[in-house]
């Protein structure tokens, strides 16, 4: 049995997992962001509530473990930031601890019980407040030791000329410090920024998508440029990784029309031809962070047993 957690800056979600089809969520708990002892106490209370003797603790976090230093980068949970989090938690909890980024856990969930079932190479995409991604090959995370693989939302790759007919675009600054990142222009806030740049009007991403689907001209132009900017880099990811399915999560993925349009644009730009959808809405119906953490935990337990 695995006790798994999905830890964000606001809430800690916990669950006991006896199998990928038997993940039992607990009530959410508030995240103590400034007090590490209180943070550990919340985890201990959830472990006690699950009961039994867990084989390990598996965490999905909104951050990164640096593979060179083993230290965490979790900006929105200061008490867990910039420390050897795995070692500290193992010492405090007395159990093996496995940690992965939340996008990585989302990818594992889609591989295990979602749209990625039956696929050898799964590249998952997050389109929401940010643009993120993760790569799973034969059930294993490329980021098994932590790190930044799959972060296709960052890097100066956004087109400076896009749409049909094409128009010139600036390199929008990104919160990571670079200019020209997809995160800056293809996230939900990025879509709003793009629409404002093109039309001078402020609209929410949700309203832009609704206007686009109703055929409104300005929103249609914005989505034409948006899909052109996003589909090119995603096609390159497919060519480089050999992914045969791309499950999409995040707030923008709720628009099936957007996912269908993105799928058509990506499939037109890749070397391999697919007669079926490639870019699809995520299908994991339970909390994907918890399911992905459970996948991590069961994989760890299986490897440990094999090594005995």
pLDDT of residue 305: 38
- Domain limits, the chain: 2-105+286-307, 117-281
Asked: is 2-105+286-307 a CATH 3.30.420.40 domain? The reply is: yes
* 97-127 pLDDT per residue, tens: 999 988 899 999 999 899 999 999 999 999 9
Q: What is 117-281's CATH number?
A: 3.30.420.40
For the entire predicted model, the pTM comes to 0.87
* 124-170 pLDDT per residue, tens: 999 988 899 999 999 888 887 777 888 899 999 999 999 999 999 99
- Answer whether residue 188 shows pLDDT above 60: yes
pLDDT of residue 16: 96
Supply 5's token pair.
Answer: 């957690």
Cα-Cα-Cα-Cα torsion 166, 205, 193, 250, nearest 10 degrees, comes to -100
What is the Cα gyration radius of the chain? 20
Contact assessment for residue 104 and residue 134, using Cβ atoms and an 8 Å cutoff: yes
Residues 211-222: b if buried by 16+ CB within 10 A, e if exposed: bbeeeeebbebb
Distance CA 105, CA 111 (A): 10
304 confidence band (pLDDT: 50, 70, 90):
very low
* 225-281 pLDDT per residue, tens: 999 999 999 999 999 999 999 999 999 999 999 999 999 999 999 999 999 999 999
Own/partner pairs for 133-137, CB < 8 Å, 24+ apart?
A: 133/103, 133/107, 133/237, 134/101, 134/103, 134/104, 134/106, 134/107, 134/108, 135/107, 135/241, 135/243, 136/107, 136/108, 136/111
Would the CATH topology of 2-105+286-307 be identical to that of 117-281? yes
């Amino acid at each position: 049995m695995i006790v798994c957690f999905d830890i964000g800056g606001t809430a800690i979600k916990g669950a006991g997992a006896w199998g990928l089809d038997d993940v039992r969520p607990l009530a959410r708990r508030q995240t103590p962001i400034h007090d590490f002892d209180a943070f550990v106490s919340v985890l201990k209370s959830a472990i006690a509530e699950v009961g039994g003797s867990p084989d390990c603790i598996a965490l999905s976090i909104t951050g990164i473990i640096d593979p060179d230093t083993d230290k965490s980068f979790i900006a929105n949970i200061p008490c867990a930031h910039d420390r050897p989090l795995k070692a500290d938690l193992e010492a405090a909890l007395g159990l093996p601890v496995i940690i992965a980024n939340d996008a990585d856990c989302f990818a594992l969930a889609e591989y295990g019980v979602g749209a990625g079932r039956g696929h050898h190479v799964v590249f998952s995409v997050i389109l929401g407040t940010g643009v993120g991604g993760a790569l799973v090959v034969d059930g294993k995370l490329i980021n098994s030791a932590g790190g930044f693989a799959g972060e296709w939302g960052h890097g100066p790759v956004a087109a400076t000329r896009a749409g049909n007919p094409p128009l010139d675009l600036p390199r929008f600054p990104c919160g990571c410090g670079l200019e020209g990142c997809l995160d800056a222009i293809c996230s939900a806030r990025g879509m709003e920024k793009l629409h404002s740049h093109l039309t001078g009007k402020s609209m929410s991403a949700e309203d832009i998508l609704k206007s686009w689907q109703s055929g409104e001209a300005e929103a249609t132009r914005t989505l034409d440029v948006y899909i052109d900017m996003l589909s090119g880099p995603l096609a390159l990811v497919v060519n480089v990784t050999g992914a045969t399915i791309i499950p999409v999560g995040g707030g923008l993925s709720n628009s099936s029309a957007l996912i269908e349009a993105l799928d058509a644009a990506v499939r037109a730009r890749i070397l391999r031809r697919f007669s079926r959808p490639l870019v699809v809405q995520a299908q994991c119906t339970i909390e994907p962070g918890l399911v992905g953490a459970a996948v991590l935990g069961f994989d760890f337990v299986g490897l440990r047993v094999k090594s005995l």
